[in-house]
Amino acid sequence: MSLEMFDKEIFDLTNKELERQCEGLEMIASENFTLPEVMEVMGSILTNKYAEGYPGKRYYGGCEFVDEIETLAIERCKKLFNCKFANVQPNSGSQANQGVYAALINPGDKILGMDLSHGGHLTHGAKVSSS
């Protein structure tokens, strides 16, 4: 069933947002107007998969196909830029967290954060993170 048939109101509002984006120029990097091919992949089954970490070294199971996709993207990027190494992972909230830490706390200060196994984030004090 299509979104238009399932929820016409959300469908209409989504189309209005599309029109708004097409009629203006967003100057915020995180609001980049993406290609239709990217939209297709981002709206795919891959949206359901959380894959923190790097290929072969994820923090959650069931990432074998995501690993293959990311490895393929890395190889294509290395070929495109004629380089030995590439990281194709997008920036995330980790950089934002590090900025807050740098601005508000000093080395050795204590902060309260949830454990990774209980819903916390790597940047909330996990040993594998610089936090």
pLDDT of residue 101: 86
pLDDT band, residue 94 (cuts 50/70/90): confident
pLDDT in tens, 60-86: 899 999 999 999 999 999 999 999 999
Rounded to whole angstroms, the Cα distance separating 25 from 72 reads 32
pLDDT of residue 6: 95
CB burial string 80-108: b at 16+ within 10 A, e below: eeeeeeeeeeeeeeeeebeeebeeeeeee
pLDDT at 93 over 80: no
- Please identify which residue in the block is written with the tokens 């947002």: 17
pLDDT of residue 84: 98
Return all residues near 54 (Cβ < 8 A) that are at least 6 apart: 70, 89
- What are all long-range contacts of 113-117, with beta carbons under 8 Å and residues at least 24 apart? 116/59
SS3 state of residue 54: strand
pLDDT in tens, 14-40: 999 999 989 988 877 667 778 889 888
pLDDT of residue 103: 87
Rounded to whole angstroms, the Cα distance separating 62 from 72 reads 18
pLDDT of residue 79: 98
pTM of this structure? 0.61
- Lowest model confidence (mean pLDDT) among 1-10, 82-91, 97-106, 114-123: 114-123
pLDDT of residue 29: 63
